[in-house]
Structure 1
Amino acid sequence: MAAIPAKHDVFQAIADPTRRKLLKLLSNEEMPVTAISGHFSMSRTAVSKHLGVLADAGLVKKQKVGRETRYKLAPEPLHELKDWLQYFELYWENKLGALKRLVESDELDKDT
């Protein structure tokens, strides 16, 4: 049986700053929606929608415990993101090195 593709990919999920904040919040502990909502100035429904996007992307896991649903970070999909970004790190390092040399040479010109 083929796996059902995610509705949202990791890149779409982390594009929103609220969802990035949710990931940070859930990185330390498993939390119910009510506790999570207390960290945001939006409705619990809005927080649940954001959690749904994260769950669709596989970034959070939810578990029913009694009457509440608890969420926790599932960091595995972030490895895909890290691997993708790592390819471009070479370009960043080259550009940052060039910028450093430019700034340092500009400072030397000002001193003389």
Structure 2
Amino acid sequence: MRRDVFQAIADPTRREIINMVAQQSLSLNAVAGNFNISRPAISKHIKILTECGLIVIKQQGRERYCEAKLQKLDEVSDWVEQCKIFWTAKLDALDKFLAKETAKTNKKLPVKKTKRK
């Protein structure tokens, strides 16, 4: 199955793994040691992250180390930026519409005169 970066960041454990290995290269055992879940579960998360291209595994002697490759997160950033542009335009248009409607309503309301003492 081909996975994408959005699937990878959908899970909080995978997001935490990304944060950890973005700081420094960590062995698989070091990554697993930071969670209260089984080693096979961590391995599954690592596999998904490698399939998405967010981390690579490098062999150093007997240990396997995870290294972050965060360029793939540019896809997420680009998508978020597109959403931001779209919704900013929609909300600006709504704001203008509501301002016009409020102005119309204010013109129609009778002005109450108060008695002066």
Normalising by structure 2, we get a TM-score of: 0.72
Paired position in structure 2 for 1:76: 71
Q: Which moved more, 1:6-15 or 1:50-59?
A: 6-15
Identical-pair percentage:
36
Aligned residue type for 2:71: E
2:12 aligns with one of 12, 17, 22: 17
Match of 1:46 in 2: 41
1:84 alignment partner AA: W
Q: What is the rounded CA distance, in whole Å, between the counterparts of 1:24 and 1:67 in structure 2?
A: 24
- Match for residue 21 of structure 2? 26
Structure having the higher Rg: 2
Aligned length: 95
SS of match in other structure, 1:39:
coil
Gaps of 5+ in 2: 96-117
Partner secondary structure for residue 70 of structure 1: strand
- Distance change (3 Å), C-alpha of 1:95 and 1:45: same
In structure 2, C-alpha distance between the alignment counterparts of 1:62 and 1:42, rounded to whole Å: 20
Q: 1:90, CA displacement in angstroms? A: 2.3
Moved over 2 A (4+): 90-99
Alignment counterpart, residue 57 of structure 2, candidates 59, 62, 85: 62
Cα distance, 1:65 vs. partner? 0.6
| Deviation of the 1:48 alpha carbon | 1.0
3-state SS of paired residue (1:71): strand
Pair 1:53–1:94, CA change in 2 (3 A)? same
